[in-house]
Amino acid sequence: MGRLIEIDDTVPIPMGRPRSWSGDLAVKMDAGESVLFDTEREANSLRESIRHYHGSRSAAMRKVPFVGWRVWRKR
């Protein structure tokens, strides 16, 4: 005596998890645009997202004395 198995063809395949805030921002940025952050941790997050979506040499990050950290999308 076997089990009755139903096959569904109307259930869509999951698309994966949604992007983070830094991923959303990285996708929206154009070359030459920059963002200023208070913390190095937030700046690193955006820099890595830019590198992920636009290529390994597409982001730059510098410390702005007494202000915070700035991240640019280069290309």
Task: Please tell me the total count of domains within the chain.
Answer: 1
Assess contact for 74 and 59: CB atoms under 8 A.
yes
pLDDT digits over 15-38, tens only?
A: 888 899 999 999 999 999 999 999
Residue 59 domain flag: yes
Judged against a pLDDT cut of 70, whether residue 61 lies above it is answered with: yes
Convert 45-55 to b/e letters by CB count within 10 Å (16 or more is b). bbbbbbebbbe
Residue 14 domain flag: no
Residue 46 domain flag: yes
Query: What was the pLDDT predicted at 1?
Result: 61
Query: What was the pLDDT predicted at 37?
Result: 97
Higher pLDDT, 4 or 41: 41
Residue 7 domain flag: no
Query: What was the pLDDT predicted at 15?
Result: 87
Residue 62 domain flag: yes
Range of the domain at 69: 25-73
Residue 4 domain flag: no
Name the pTM for this structure. Answer: 0.79
